[in-house]
Amino acid sequence: MSIVVRTLSERVFEVVREQIVSGQLPERAPIRQDALANELGVSKIPLREALARLEQEGLLTSQANRGYVVRPMSADQADEIYALRLAIEPQAAAHAARVADEKARAIARDAFEKLDSAAGTNLPEVAVRNRDFHVALVRPGGRLLTTQLVERLSVLAERYVVAHLQPAGRGTRAHQEHLQLLDAFLDRDGPALQALLHRHIVATLDDLREQFGVG
Protein backbone atom coordinates (compact mmCIF):
# COMPACT_ATOMS: atom_id res chain seq x y z
CA MET A 1 0.00 0.00 0.00
CA SER A 2 2.84 2.43 0.85
CA ILE A 3 4.37 1.91 -2.60
CA VAL A 4 1.08 2.93 -4.23
CA VAL A 5 0.83 6.05 -2.06
CA ARG A 6 4.40 7.10 -2.87
CA THR A 7 3.78 6.56 -6.58
CA LEU A 8 0.60 8.63 -6.43
CA SER A 9 2.39 11.35 -4.47
CA GLU A 10 5.09 11.46 -7.15
CA ARG A 11 2.47 11.89 -9.86
CA VAL A 12 0.68 14.62 -7.91
CA PHE A 13 4.04 16.35 -7.42
CA GLU A 14 4.64 16.36 -11.18
CA VAL A 15 1.15 17.66 -11.99
CA VAL A 16 1.24 20.46 -9.42
CA ARG A 17 4.78 21.40 -10.43
CA GLU A 18 3.61 21.75 -14.04
CA GLN A 19 0.72 23.95 -12.88
CA ILE A 20 3.20 26.18 -11.05
CA VAL A 21 5.62 26.36 -13.99
CA SER A 22 2.81 27.12 -16.46
CA GLY A 23 1.34 29.81 -14.21
CA GLN A 24 -1.93 27.94 -13.77
CA LEU A 25 -1.32 28.26 -10.03
CA PRO A 26 -0.55 31.99 -9.69
CA GLU A 27 2.18 33.43 -7.50
CA ARG A 28 1.26 34.31 -3.90
CA ALA A 29 -2.21 32.77 -4.25
CA PRO A 30 -3.00 30.25 -1.47
CA ILE A 31 -3.17 26.59 -2.47
CA ARG A 32 -6.71 25.46 -1.70
CA GLN A 33 -6.04 21.85 -0.78
CA ASP A 34 -9.66 20.65 -0.79
CA ALA A 35 -10.31 22.06 -4.25
CA LEU A 36 -6.97 20.85 -5.63
CA ALA A 37 -7.46 17.35 -4.23
CA ASN A 38 -10.92 17.19 -5.84
CA GLU A 39 -9.55 18.50 -9.14
CA LEU A 40 -6.81 15.85 -9.18
CA GLY A 41 -9.07 13.08 -7.88
CA VAL A 42 -6.81 12.20 -4.94
CA SER A 43 -7.01 12.23 -1.17
CA LYS A 44 -5.25 14.84 0.92
CA ILE A 45 -2.47 12.46 1.98
CA PRO A 46 -0.58 12.24 -1.35
CA LEU A 47 -1.37 15.92 -2.01
CA ARG A 48 0.18 16.98 1.29
CA GLU A 49 3.24 14.87 0.57
CA ALA A 50 3.58 16.48 -2.86
CA LEU A 51 3.12 20.01 -1.47
CA ALA A 52 5.74 19.39 1.22
CA ARG A 53 8.17 18.22 -1.45
CA LEU A 54 7.41 21.26 -3.60
CA GLU A 55 8.21 23.45 -0.60
CA GLN A 56 11.53 21.61 -0.19
CA GLU A 57 12.20 22.22 -3.89
CA GLY A 58 11.67 25.95 -3.37
CA LEU A 59 8.52 26.31 -5.48
CA LEU A 60 6.11 26.78 -2.55
CA THR A 61 6.30 28.49 0.81
CA SER A 62 4.14 27.81 3.85
CA GLN A 63 2.66 30.64 5.86
CA ALA A 64 0.84 30.63 9.18
CA ASN A 65 -2.94 30.61 8.74
CA ARG A 66 -2.57 30.59 4.93
CA GLY A 67 -1.06 27.19 4.23
CA TYR A 68 0.99 26.87 1.07
CA VAL A 69 1.42 29.62 -1.50
CA VAL A 70 3.38 29.64 -4.77
CA ARG A 71 6.73 31.30 -4.22
CA PRO A 72 6.99 34.37 -6.46
CA MET A 73 9.73 34.56 -9.05
CA SER A 74 12.34 37.22 -8.44
CA ALA A 75 15.60 38.58 -9.79
CA ASP A 76 17.30 37.58 -6.54
CA GLN A 77 16.20 33.96 -6.84
CA ALA A 78 17.24 33.86 -10.50
CA ASP A 79 20.66 35.22 -9.53
CA GLU A 80 21.05 32.57 -6.86
CA ILE A 81 19.92 29.66 -9.04
CA TYR A 82 22.08 30.60 -11.99
CA ALA A 83 25.12 31.48 -9.85
CA LEU A 84 24.98 27.99 -8.34
CA ARG A 85 24.58 26.45 -11.78
CA LEU A 86 27.63 28.37 -12.98
CA ALA A 87 29.65 27.11 -10.01
CA ILE A 88 28.74 23.46 -10.58
CA GLU A 89 27.41 22.63 -14.03
CA PRO A 90 30.07 23.64 -16.61
CA GLN A 91 32.92 21.81 -14.89
CA ALA A 92 30.71 18.79 -14.14
CA ALA A 93 29.62 18.53 -17.78
CA ALA A 94 33.23 18.80 -18.96
CA HIS A 95 34.20 15.89 -16.73
CA ALA A 96 31.17 13.87 -17.84
CA ALA A 97 31.99 14.40 -21.52
CA ARG A 98 35.46 12.92 -21.03
CA VAL A 99 34.22 9.74 -19.31
CA ALA A 100 30.79 9.17 -20.94
CA ASP A 101 30.23 5.71 -22.43
CA GLU A 102 28.20 5.07 -25.57
CA LYS A 103 24.98 4.56 -23.65
CA ALA A 104 25.36 7.94 -21.95
CA ARG A 105 26.15 9.59 -25.26
CA ALA A 106 23.01 8.05 -26.78
CA ILE A 107 20.95 9.34 -23.84
CA ALA A 108 22.31 12.85 -24.40
CA ARG A 109 21.41 12.67 -28.11
CA ASP A 110 17.92 11.46 -27.26
CA ALA A 111 17.46 14.22 -24.68
CA PHE A 112 18.45 16.82 -27.26
CA GLU A 113 16.07 15.37 -29.85
CA LYS A 114 13.18 15.42 -27.37
CA LEU A 115 14.01 19.00 -26.45
CA ASP A 116 14.15 19.94 -30.12
CA SER A 117 10.80 18.22 -30.78
CA ALA A 118 9.17 20.06 -27.87
CA ALA A 119 10.30 23.45 -29.17
CA GLY A 120 7.36 25.46 -30.45
CA THR A 121 4.89 23.52 -28.30
CA ASN A 122 3.92 24.47 -24.76
CA LEU A 123 6.76 26.12 -22.86
CA PRO A 124 6.39 24.05 -19.65
CA GLU A 125 7.12 20.93 -21.71
CA VAL A 126 10.16 22.66 -23.19
CA ALA A 127 11.33 23.52 -19.66
CA VAL A 128 11.12 19.86 -18.59
CA ARG A 129 12.99 18.70 -21.70
CA ASN A 130 15.56 21.44 -21.14
CA ARG A 131 16.14 20.09 -17.63
CA ASP A 132 16.51 16.53 -18.93
CA PHE A 133 19.06 17.64 -21.51
CA HIS A 134 21.21 19.56 -19.05
CA VAL A 135 21.16 16.68 -16.56
CA ALA A 136 22.11 14.25 -19.36
CA LEU A 137 25.31 16.25 -19.89
CA VAL A 138 26.28 15.85 -16.23
CA ARG A 139 25.06 12.43 -15.08
CA PRO A 140 27.71 10.36 -16.94
CA GLY A 141 30.35 11.85 -14.63
CA GLY A 142 29.18 9.40 -11.99
CA ARG A 143 29.10 12.06 -9.27
CA LEU A 144 25.76 11.45 -7.61
CA LEU A 145 25.62 14.51 -5.38
CA THR A 146 26.66 16.80 -8.24
CA THR A 147 23.98 15.31 -10.49
CA GLN A 148 21.33 15.70 -7.78
CA LEU A 149 22.30 19.34 -7.26
CA VAL A 150 22.18 20.09 -10.99
CA GLU A 151 18.80 18.38 -11.27
CA ARG A 152 17.34 20.30 -8.32
CA LEU A 153 18.64 23.60 -9.65
CA SER A 154 17.18 22.75 -13.06
CA VAL A 155 13.78 22.12 -11.45
CA LEU A 156 13.97 25.52 -9.74
CA ALA A 157 15.00 27.09 -13.05
CA GLU A 158 12.00 25.75 -15.00
CA ARG A 159 9.79 28.80 -14.42
CA TYR A 160 12.68 31.05 -15.39
CA VAL A 161 13.28 29.00 -18.55
CA VAL A 162 9.64 29.56 -19.51
CA ALA A 163 9.96 33.30 -18.85
CA HIS A 164 13.24 33.45 -20.75
CA LEU A 165 11.86 31.74 -23.86
CA GLN A 166 8.73 33.88 -24.18
CA PRO A 167 10.31 36.76 -26.19
CA ALA A 168 10.52 36.08 -29.93
CA GLY A 169 13.79 34.63 -31.16
CA ARG A 170 14.93 33.18 -27.87
CA GLY A 171 13.91 29.64 -28.86
CA THR A 172 16.05 29.74 -31.99
CA ARG A 173 19.08 30.95 -30.07
CA ALA A 174 18.56 28.31 -27.38
CA HIS A 175 18.38 25.59 -30.04
CA GLN A 176 21.68 26.69 -31.57
CA GLU A 177 23.38 26.85 -28.18
CA HIS A 178 22.08 23.42 -27.16
CA LEU A 179 23.29 21.94 -30.44
CA GLN A 180 26.76 23.35 -29.80
CA LEU A 181 26.70 21.87 -26.30
CA LEU A 182 25.73 18.46 -27.64
CA ASP A 183 28.44 18.54 -30.33
CA ALA A 184 31.13 19.40 -27.78
CA PHE A 185 29.86 16.66 -25.46
CA LEU A 186 29.91 14.05 -28.23
CA ASP A 187 33.39 15.21 -29.29
CA ARG A 188 34.54 14.67 -25.68
CA ASP A 189 35.84 18.24 -25.81
CA GLY A 190 35.67 19.12 -22.12
CA PRO A 191 37.20 22.61 -22.32
CA ALA A 192 34.92 23.65 -25.18
CA LEU A 193 31.85 22.27 -23.44
CA GLN A 194 32.77 24.03 -20.20
CA ALA A 195 33.20 27.36 -21.99
CA LEU A 196 30.01 26.97 -24.05
CA LEU A 197 27.91 25.98 -21.05
CA HIS A 198 29.27 28.84 -18.98
CA ARG A 199 28.41 31.30 -21.76
CA HIS A 200 24.95 29.72 -22.23
CA ILE A 201 24.05 30.08 -18.54
CA VAL A 202 25.42 33.62 -18.28
CA ALA A 203 23.50 34.73 -21.39
CA THR A 204 20.26 33.31 -19.97
CA LEU A 205 20.81 35.09 -16.66
CA ASP A 206 21.60 38.37 -18.43
CA ASP A 207 18.33 38.10 -20.36
CA LEU A 208 16.38 37.36 -17.16
CA ARG A 209 17.95 40.33 -15.37
CA GLU A 210 16.86 42.55 -18.24
CA GLN A 211 13.33 41.13 -18.06
CA PHE A 212 13.23 41.82 -14.31
CA GLY A 213 14.50 45.34 -14.93
CA VAL A 214 17.79 44.78 -13.12
CA GLY A 215 20.77 46.65 -14.52
Q: What is the DSSP string of 2-34?
A: HHHHHHHHHHHHHHHHHHHHHTSS-BT-B--HH
CB 132 within 8 A of CB 151: no
Q: How far apart are CA 153 and CA 82, in angstroms?
A: 8
- pLDDT the model gives residue 2: 44
| Total-model pTM | 0.84
Beta bridge partners of 70: 27, 60
* Distance, CA of 53 to CA of 60 (rounded, Å): 9
Is pLDDT of 45 > 50?
A: yes
Q: Which is more confident, 21 or 139? A: 139
Domains in the chain, start-ordered, CATH in brackets? 2-70 (1.10.10.10), 75-212 (1.20.120.530)
Mean pLDDT for 125-136 is: 93
Residue 1 confidence (pLDDT) above 70: no
